[in-house]
Amino acid sequence: MAVAVATALGAGVFVWTLPDATELARKNPKITALMEQRKAEAQAAGRRHSVQWTWVPLKRIAPHAYLAVVTMEDDRFWRHEGFDFVEMKEAAQKNWEEKRYRRGASTITQQLAKNLYFGTEKSLWRKVREAAAAWKIERALPK
């Protein structure tokens, strides 16, 4: 019983400490974790770093353009809820057969979570947090 309570509390704290994805429905972020990471990398290398970007509403992007990107990046985007278990299985099989990391299986939502909140650090903990954040994003935003 104590283990179950501790697990439930730990899971609750874990989810509660994740970024609030509902904020994305109201406004675009001013900066992302990936942008901050790239700035720090440039400064560490003694290079200047400036970011110039403009948010463009989806309605101003040609439908064929964004549908092509979605198809290439995450073919089952419209059918999954943040994770593509079919793609994960296929990627794992391919990587196992080739005995090296050849391809990943991150969905567009997972890539968004990584870039917004976590940067490119390679760790199991980051991947777990990315997956949980993707789950929250899927529930907060319409596709």
Q: What span, in angstroms and rounded, lies between the C-alpha atoms of 92 and 80?
A: 18
**pLDDT band for position 74 (cuts 50, 70, 90):** very high
Q: Is the pLDDT confidence value at 5 over 90?
A: no
Average pLDDT over residues 46-57: 88
Q: What is the pTM of this model?
A: 0.79
The domain ranges of the chain are 2-140
The whole-number average pLDDT for the span 22-36 is 91
Residue 142 has pLDDT above 60, yes or no: yes
Q: How many CA atoms lie within 13 A of 28 on its CB side?
A: 7
Q: How many whole angstroms separate alpha carbon 138 and alpha carbon 113?
A: 10
Q: What is the pLDDT of residue 122?
A: 83
Percent helix, strand and coil across the chain, each to the nearest 5: 65, 0, 35
Report residue 112's pLDDT band, with 50, 70 and 90 as the boundaries. very high
Which residues contact residue 130 at a Cβ distance below 8 angstroms, ignoring those fewer than 6 apart? 106, 110, 113, 114, 117, 118
Mean pLDDT of 78-101: 88
